[in-house]
Each structure stands twice: as structure tokens, then as C-alpha cells.
Amino acid sequence: MALKADDSAERAQQLVLLTQRLTAIVLEETRRIDAREPPLDGAEADEKNRLSNAYRLELARIKQEPSMIEGAPSALMHRLRQETEALHAALAKHEIALNAVKIITEGLVQAMAEEVSRQRGGAGGYTPQGVIDTPSQPTPTLIDRSA
């Protein structure tokens, strides 16, 4: 979804609005992570994806053809820079929150794997035929508070 603008000022204004909305969504998602609430879903998640793609595509178009935005008023360009800096700050906070979730999740998975290994008793011995003694049926595992 590319922005449709008649001139560079209109394109810059649309980019400002796009950046502001994207920043708001990223901040809301970060707030949800911090509050341990479910992530964005449904229409909110779709909007985030659409806006992210539009933002990425528009920046790529402007990079290829800088004249698309060159004639915009300096006050509008200054505002666009400020909004872009705000988006980058929001993304940095979002990255920290996501890394914390990743570390916690990896720790939980590791704890569960260790508990499964502990309950199963590790590697089995050898049978009289010289093969590793493994159960022929699946062995149930209980994950409780000890994990």
C-alpha cells in the first residue's frame, strides 16, 4: 500500500500521520507486554502489519526517488524527523520488552526440558542384546511447580 500524494508536502504530511499511528501502536503493544496482557490481535494486529508495510515501502520509494519529498516545507520535514525519532525510541523500548519475553520463554522451555529429562531418568542402560534400553511405549511426564 503506497501513499498517494499530489506533491511532496502532502506526501510528507501523510508520512507524519503514518509514523504517528505506527508509534502509537508500538507503544500500546509495549504497554501490553509490560502489563502482561495478551498481544495485539485481530484488527489491531492487521493494522500494525499494514502500517508497518506501508511505512517500509514508502521509505524504500523515497530512498530510490528522493525528489518525492524534497520540496516539502522545512517545518513539515522537521516534524517528520521528530516523529521518526519518536518511532525509533518506541521501537527501542519495544525491542527491550520483547527480549525480556524471549528470555523468560526460553527459561521456561529449558526448565521443562530439564524436568522431563529428570523424570525419565536420563539415558537408559544396555540390554543383554547390546542395545540401549528404552521404553517401548511413550512415558507420561508431569510438569508441576518443580519445573
Question: What is d(CA 58, CA 23) in angstroms, rounded to the nearest whole number?
Answer: 16
- pLDDT for position 123: 57
Residue written as cell 523424570?
119
What residue ranges define each of the domains in the chain, with the CATH number in brackets? 8-120 (1.20.58)
- pLDDT for position 147: 52
Question: What is d(CA 50, CA 29) in angstroms, rounded to the nearest whole number?
Answer: 15
Q: Cell triple for residue 43?
A: 484488527
pLDDT 10s digits, 39-58: 888 898 899 999 999 999 99
Contact 88, 116 (CB under 8 A): no
Confidence (pTM) = 0.75
Annotate the chain with three-state secondary structure: CCCCCCCHHHHHHHHHHHHHHHHHHHHHHHHHHHCCCCCCCHHHHHHHHHHHHHHHHHHHHHHHCCHHHHCCCHHHHHHHHHHHHHHHHHHHHHHHHHHHHHHHHHHHHHHHHHHHHHHHCCCCCECCCCCECCCCCCCCCCCCCCC
pLDDT along the chain (147 residues), means of 10: 76 94 96 91 91 94 90 93 97 95 90 77 69 66 60
